[in-house]
Structure 1
């Protein structure tokens, strides 16, 4: 095992599907940048090396398998092939999986590499309780979660409530689960967002902002229907993000007769200019882990309307102080929340205080300490297993 098991540099591999990242991938790239600055050897293993985010990607060591084929429609099998090829070629001290979607990739590495697989760490990025799933699927999902508890050497929760959820759903041992606040914002970005001066919204129109990938999980149809029912003539809704649901959502906007009030901004390199212009952030998701966009909005002093989509939401949003929390799946209560936001100034100072917990630099240092501990523990367990297997025949001979 590498000298990193002392206090030397760690060799860390991070699988990422592409440089068109969602929140999980943005956080991973931010951590990777900090780890590299601290002297560690970080490699981002890319499923797809192109993409619109290439020009804004941080200067890191990227590794991919060249191909002329389009792999977007089968990205997980291709990611498994790519990561396996990388791990066969290079040794690493820790494989860091930045979100739930990469758990199946790590499980494949365990099957393919067996005892040669590196120690594996998963940052749990999504809710584990999924009441939105039909019962037969939910039962299978529960089995998959328990499998993850056996696959990963370390599981990172984003909050204390999530730690309890992981222990319960994954049947993980206490030593497997650690809590590190989701590292969403650098200190510099916290300072910049903290300088945004919040003004009362216009009496005639609110500027609502939503942000995230255009996928079913975010339940944008609920947001659009609620907005159509609650919006005044001068209210505006901007949706930042790209994804497979865009055409369907644009058709819904046309059908609801709100095309003149809803703007699809697409993928944006930085959401900060939109946060500065907005009067409130809205989040309509069915489930989340700990939504980074809410942290960003709080750092900008914005009031937030969010569904109760994760166990961590009440630790983020102070109901009726820094925002409003409403039940998931209810168009009526979400519409009521949109109306309530018009009169809500919020508490920018309190919001920014909460956001400061989620800074990148401190979390990056904690992750390195945890990785070193996990690598040492796995190395100790491996050596102990080898010793026991070596001694076993001797014991058998002594018994005879």
Structure 2
């Protein structure tokens, strides 16, 4: 079970004094936060960034969001959303260039207190903004949304990736892990002290989502013959659905089914693999599906076959439904997420035999286990995360204001506050 707390870090006595007496800037306007994204193409990072943006707006924050391509509608209605260029930028390099050219002007105009980097995908842009703007760049808060170890990378590439993580540590201000186990991984690989790391549970759900997912599963009578497995994710190498198909083929009986919900570049290869394995008639890939309520309610088990993840939001949704879970040990947080075996089964990554064995030996759940899964999921709500993120951002904004105030000597060290 998680014990999640936000630790904003070393504020400093002068920063506390500055915050207490209030600056002209904070008296005139609320906290200003700017989030940047490529687009709202289906993805957990973008969906959660949208949730946070909406929650910050409701909390009275001047929250702005800028995207390179606004042609895809956000998952929820958002205020203060703009496209950085009049024409959508639909490719990786053009999106990056458009955001890097456009965001400095937005910063000069809107004067945000903090920039929010919603996931690892956007750290290159965050570092580029720091180098471009220098001292004029606001503090940047980076949410670590994916695995930092990256065992999927060849060793030479992994060496350069580790160097890149250290560059991030030198230039970006504060890092947020989505679960306690990520704290040590961030400190070790990014090379930053604990004072620059917070842990805030990933806000994958709202309180209303918890109730809805549980009610949907409780209302379904699962009386069909066979076992029915469900998996969710982009059809991409990271998710390793090829491994899942191989495992399913080893144990599938005539009435068993596997549903893989998602879309991506590996669709044709996966369909061809299912045909070769003789399970095409039992495997269904309906594409991207949202919401997941009915699919999770009707399944007998949720299966995650990924090679690497951060804290996968879909596992949290499965916990909220109370669904049995089988997952690969694809990140440092997965053991905690599954209660070290009490809430689900954990198997090694890339091991089809172990995955098949876990799928085959699925045991009936007790009411206590279902309740424990739902309690674990309740940690990961937008209601809990909103105030923790805002507390961290206000701390960073106050510290920056104190450091740049005319009456604050810039060369003096700022002592830590009393315990």
Q: TM-score, normalised by structure 1?
A: 0.90
Partner of 2:106: 86
Q: Deviations over 1:93-142 (max 9, x none)?
A: 11111111111110110111111111100011111112222111111111
> 1:217 Cα shift?
1.0
Q: Distance in 2 between matches of 1:68 and 1:40?
A: 28
1:109 aligns with 2:129: yes
Which deviates further from its counterpart, 307-316 or 269-278?
269-278
Name the SS of the counterpart of 1:357 in structure 2. Answer: coil
Partner of 1:396: none
> 1:345 Cα shift?
2.1
1:381 to 393, 398, 403: 403
> 1:202 Cα shift?
5.0
Partner of 2:185: 165
- Aligned 8 A contact 2:274 2:283 in 1: yes
1:82 to 1:202, Cα distance in 2 relative to 1, 3 A: farther
1:244 aligns with 2:248: no
Q: Distance in 2 between matches of 1:319 and 1:387?
A: 50
Residue correspondence of structure 1 range 105-254 to structure 2 within 5 A: 105-195=125-215, 196-197=217-218, 202=223, 204-254=225-275
Any stretches of 5+ residues in structure 2 without a counterpart? 1-21, 412-419
Partner of 2:416: none
2:91 to 59, 68, 72: 72
- Aligned 8 A contact 2:130 2:172 in 1: no
Q: Distance in 1 between matches of 2:168 and 2:28?
A: 29
1:169 to 1:207, Cα distance in 2 relative to 1, 3 A: same
Partner of 1:362: 384
Query: Where does structure 1 differ by over 6 angstroms across 4 or more consecutive aligned residues?
Result: none
1:80 to 1:254, Cα distance in 2 relative to 1, 3 A: farther
Which deviates further from its counterpart, 81-90 or 211-220?
81-90
Which deviates further from its counterpart, 202-211 or 27-36?
202-211
Q: Deviations over 1:22-73 (max 9, x none)?
A: 111111111111111111111121111112x45x432322111345565235
Which deviates further from its counterpart, 343-352 or 11-20?
343-352
Name the SS of the counterpart of 2:281 in structure 1. Answer: coil
Any stretches of 5+ residues in structure 1 without a counterpart? 390-400
Residue correspondence of structure 1 range 301-340 to structure 2 within 5 A: 301-340=322-361
Q: TM-score, normalised by structure 2?
A: 0.86
- Aligned 8 A contact 1:45 1:82 in 2: no
1:211 to 1:387, Cα distance in 2 relative to 1, 3 A: same
- Aligned 8 A contact 2:84 2:98 in 1: no
Q: Distance in 1 between matches of 2:179 and 2:409?
A: 38
- Aligned 8 A contact 2:175 2:197 in 1: yes
Q: How many residue pairs align between the two structures? A: 387
Q: Distance in 2 between matches of 1:219 and 1:82?
A: 36
- Aligned 8 A contact 1:11 1:41 in 2: yes
